C-alpha cells in the first residue's frame, strides 16, 4: 500500500503543477480576449488566428484543469443521499463511482480521441477559417486532458482504499475553506440581503 500511496502522491503533484500552470493560462486568455475585443472595436479589424487561439486556450483550461479540479474536490457532487450515510459508506460509493462511471467514460473518450488527434497531425489539418491555426494541438488537448483525469481518478481510488484500511486520511475532505459552490451560495445570500436592505431604505425614504 505504501507504493500505491507514493504513486498517488506523484500523480497528485503532476495534476497540481498542471493546475497551477492553467491558473496563469487563464490570465493569458483574458489578455488575448481583451486584446481581440479592443482591436475589433477600435481598428474595425480582427484575426481568425487570434480568435482561434482564444478558443484553444479556453479548451486547454477546461480540459487540462479537470484532473486538478478532481484533486481539489471541486467537481460538482450530487450527494443529497450519500451525505446521510456513514463516512465509510460514502467512500465505498466513491470507489463505485470511480470504477463504474469515471473510468469507463474517461477511457472511452481517451481511446476515441487518439485517432482523432493522430489523423489531424498526419494530415497537417488547418482551420477552415482563412488565416486560422493548425488543428492538431487543440485535438491533442482531449487525450491529454482525459489522461490527467484518469490519473486523478486512479489517485483518488488509491486514497479511498487507503482510507478504508486506515492507511491515509479521508480523501474527500476539503483541506481549504469552502468550496466554490458554497462561496457562490454565500455571495448570493449576501447580495440578496443587501438588496433587501436597500429596498427597505428606499421605502422609508419615499415614506418621508
Check if the beta carbon of residue 50 is closer than 8 Å to that of residue 35: yes
- The confidence band for 181, taking pLDDT boundaries of 50, 70 and 90, is low
pTM: 0.81
Give pairs for 101-108: CB < 8 Å, separation 24+: 102/149, 102/153, 103/150, 103/153, 106/146, 106/149, 106/150, 106/153, 107/150
Predicted pLDDT of residue 73:
85
Strand partners for 134: 126
Q: What is the pLDDT of residues 11-29, one digit of tens each?
A: 999 999 999 999 999 999 9
CA nearest 117: which of 140, 148, 144? Answer: 140
Compute how many other C-beta atoms are within 10 angstroms of the C-beta atom of residue 62. 13
Half-sphere exposure of residue 21: CA atoms within 13 angstroms, side-chain side: 12
Q: What is the pLDDT of residue 131?
A: 80
Which residues, including other chains, have CB under 8 Å from residue 147's CB and lie 6 or more apart?
110
CA distance 57 to 129: 17
What number is the average pLDDT over the span 123-142?
89
Rounded to whole angstroms, the Cα distance separating 34 from 127 reads: 22
> What integer is the mean pLDDT of 145-159?
96
Amino acid at each position: 500500500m505504501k507504493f500505491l500511496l507514493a504513486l498517488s502522491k506523484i500523480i497528485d503533484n503532476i495534476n497540481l503543477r498542471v493546475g497551477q500552470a492553467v491558473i496563469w493560462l487563464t490570465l493569458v486568455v483574458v489578455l488575448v480576449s481583451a486584446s481581440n475585443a479592443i482591436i475589433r472595436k477600435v481598428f474595425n479589424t480582427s484575426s481568425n488566428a487570434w480568435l482561434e487561439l482564444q478558443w484553444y486556450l479556453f479548451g486547454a483550461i477546461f480540459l487540462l484543469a479537470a484532473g486538478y479540479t478532481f484533486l481539489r474536490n471541486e467537481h460538482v457532487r450530487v450527494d443529497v443521499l450519500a451525505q446521510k450515510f456513514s463516512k465509510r459508506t460514502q467512500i465505498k460509493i466513491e470507489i463505485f463511482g470511480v470504477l463504474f462511471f469515471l473510468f469507463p467514460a474517461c477511457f472511452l473518450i481517451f481511446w476515441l480521441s487518439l485517432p482523432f488527434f493522430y489523423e489531424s497531425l498526419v494530415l497537417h489539418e488547418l482551420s477552415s477559417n482563412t488565416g486560422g491555426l493548425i488543428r492538431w494541438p487543440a485535438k491533442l488537448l482531449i487525450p491529454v486532458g482525459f489522461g490527467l483525469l484518469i490519473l486523478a481518478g486512479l489517485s483518488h481510488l488509491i486514497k479511498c482504499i487507503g482510507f478504508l484500511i486506515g492507511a491515509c486520511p479521508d480523501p474527500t475532505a476539503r483541506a481549504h475553506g469552502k468550496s466554490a459552490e458554497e462561496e457562490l451560495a454565500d455571495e448570493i445570500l449576501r447580495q440578496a440581503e443587501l438588496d433587501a436592505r436597500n429596498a427597505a431604505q428606499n421605502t422609508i425614504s419615499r415614506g418621508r
